[in-house]
Homo-oligomer: A and B are copies of this chain.
Amino acid sequence: MVHDGSSAEETIYRRATSCVMIDPILHILADSSVFQGLSERELQDVREAATMRRYVAGELMVRQGDPALAFHMLICGHAKLVQVTPDGHQVLIRYARPGHSFGLRSALSGFEYSLSAEAIDDSRALVWYGEVLAQLMERYSRIAFNGMRMMTLRNVEMQLRYQELLTEPVEQRVAQALLRLSNDMGQKTKEGILIDVPLSREDLAEYSGTTLYSVSRILRQWENAGVVRTGRERVLVRSQDSLLDIAAATI
């Protein structure tokens, strides 16, 4: 299975950094999954078609169920992408950091947002109206092609998570969730990998398909075993190998 190679190479902007107008935005665009492979002139064209919007921590950037009118790419700050099920469960789909995007479907007519994006901290995002994005895709087929690639990867990940929910016990799923988070939002420290977003037991439960009580019991056990170090809304992975062992355990 192939992963989105650009993720490993993207420049990581510290969450602690105060939120200011950042140069080079074109660099973020060039490194992003959707706009990679475009020439500098094409990137300039893309940049000029967007507006920059700012969001305060806690603000919704898009709302599930609303008509999907715009495509967003984070320039700084972080967001949490969530869905609410008909019976009121919240599912955490993923976190987003600079370079990550959502709302590709705005280029398709008549779609609603299938998830909500909530700014975790003060953030800025480039925003393209859907028709504008569609025109860019018509002009530069590479954007549509990259979009297809991104949605393919999203689908593959959703298939994997479905399979995990179907076949794996809770502990295994929580281990997998922490590994994904380490990979996507992790920052290496002397002690291990710090997951660099606020991550409550509730958040981790929503991400791995369980409840905060199960997550609490599991993290307590792993902390005692030295696998993780935790605090309030904070998880640091001390032994990624242990998590890999747990994640791969066969029943």
Chain B residues, Cβ within 8 Å of A110: 2
In this complex, how many residues of chain A approach chain B with their Cβ under 8 Å: the count is 45
* Cβ-neighbour of A151 out of B87, B112, B152, B168 (below 8 A): B152
How many identical subunits does the complex contain? 2
Known: A158-B158, A162-B162. A138 touches B145 (CB 8 A): yes
Contacts of A2 in B (CB 8 A): 108, 110-112
CB within 8 Å for A111 and B152 given contacts A141-B138, A141-B141: yes
Does A251 belong to the interface (CB within 8 Å)?
A: yes
Known: A110-B2, A155-B154. A87 touches B144 (CB 8 A): no
Which single member of B108, B156, B250 contacts A152 (CB below 8 Å)? B108
- Is the Cβ of A167 less than 8 Å from the Cβ of B112? no
A89 interfacial contact with B, CB 8 Å: yes
- Which residue from chain B places its CB closest to the CB of A145 in the assembled complex? B144
